[in-house]
Amino acid sequence: MISPALLRDEPDLVKANLARRGRELDLERFAALDAALRTARQEEEALRQERNAASAAIGELFKAGKKEEAEERKAAAAKLGDAISAARTKAEEAAKDFEGFMLALPNLLHASVPEGRSEEDNRLVRTEGEPPSFSFEVRDHVALGELHGMLDFAAGAAIARTRFAVLRGAGARLHRALGQLMLEKHVAEHGYEEHWLPYLVNAEALTNTGQLPKFGDEEEMFFSTRSDDLHLIPTAEVSLANLAAGRSFTASELPLRVAAHSPCFRREAGSYGQDTRGMLRQHQFDKVELVQVAAPEASEEAQLELLEHAEAVMKTLELPYRVVELCAGDTGAAASRTYDIEVWLPGQDRYREISSVSNDTDYQARRMKARYKDGGKDAYVHILNGSGVAVGRAWIAVIENGQREDGSIALPAALRPYFGGAEAISAP
């Protein structure tokens, strides 16, 4: 949630910022909701003060022995209770309307975010490594997976439905190895604390991180059909970031670095017809997620650090990749600025996203009331997240970039210990 005070004080600045995303800000609606909330709260407070004054006067009458007059005043004051109850209900409804308006607004963009409406307008930051060249016809991960008998979409569809897969043998082993390698690297080398977290979360947790209520994201999530208000996590960011909910951090506690390896569940309702072949866009996939909670003045540096940590995985896996900064129209609603890491996939002859690293500034912290206190300083913390990285897409990248003409798949040196020292997945 953006700051209501900022919206009151500098409405034109906020409107211009949101316009960069293609969002129209209804300032008249905001002013009306804000005024209604203020008036309702003032009316409730005035009635409370009137009741307090009446109670004090009644007490004085009893002390003075004027019991009859005191009882008359007491009967009249009792009616104030009903008026206060009605005023409180009115104030609560006004607060709900105001909060609903504020929750629907995206975060303010950082000044450096490039203009644009789609991924075509994203800014290239740098490219690392050279895509491999092959002297034979390149296979994509589907062909390689089927060649080795380690990727089975028919079994996934039979067990669940389309856009689910079964990995077996070397395929399952590679998937497990990738998740372990990433998590061990982030914990041992980058200083994150490992967590195992709920995969089902309530609506409040999703609202805290900005998945709800906005822009059809609820259509992207799987949720329980029973009345228990639980949703399957679309990313471990939800569970990890909510560890900060309601907390007041001291300077010595920041930055907080937490990580988790988890499955992620998404309907992919908004991507009908996209990436229907293979594992690029599945309803269930794994990801190692990194979250940092930082002091406001340190969050820009923290985002670059998060990016560096995600890139370290790519370098360890010896994968060619590039970093792009997302444009205004492609930046997620909760983010102020986002960098994507895109890995080279020979089977598609193009770079594809494998990690997003976002600085959400105080947008999530305001929703979950996560604060930072340092001496006389009292502010909301900044919360950042990044994929460190998507396990399934790393799986695709490793086998496609490591493929050989005979069908064998060369393994990066860092993965060989997970395969008993083998340098490759043998040809079938």
Q: What is the pTM of this model?
A: 0.91
Question: What confidence tens digit (pLDDT) does each residue in 234-286 have?
Answer: 999 999 999 999 999 999 999 999 999 999 999 875 555 676 778 998 999 99
According to the annotation, is 354 in a ligand binding site? yes
When mean pLDDT is compared across 6-15, 166-175, 271-280, 291-300, the lowest value belongs to 271-280
Residues 6+ apart with CB under 8 A from 31: none
Residues 160-185 have pLDDT tens digits of: 999 999 999 999 999 999 999 999 99
Please indicate if the annotation marks 118 as binding a ligand: no
227 is in an annotated binding site: no
The answer on whether 107 is annotated among ligand-binding residues is no
Residues with active-site annotation: 266, 281, 353, 356, 393
What residues form DSSP beta bridges with 390?
Answer: 287
CA distances from 137 to 100, 301, 318, 347, 404 (A): 54, 43, 22, 10, 10
Query: Does the annotation place 399 within a ligand binding site?
Result: no
Residue 235 annotated as binding?
A: yes
Inform me whether the pLDDT recorded for 215 exceeds 70: no
Count CA atoms within 13 Å of residue 424 on its CB side. 15
pLDDT score, position 272:
58
The reply to whether 271 sits in an annotated binding site is no
Distance CA 264, CA 387 (A): 12
**Is position 268 annotated in a ligand binding site?**
yes
pLDDT tens, position by position, 351-360: 999 999 999 9
58-72, 134-148, 165-179, 357-371: the lowest-pLDDT one: 58-72
Under the banding of pLDDT at 50, 70 and 90, the label for residue 296 is very high
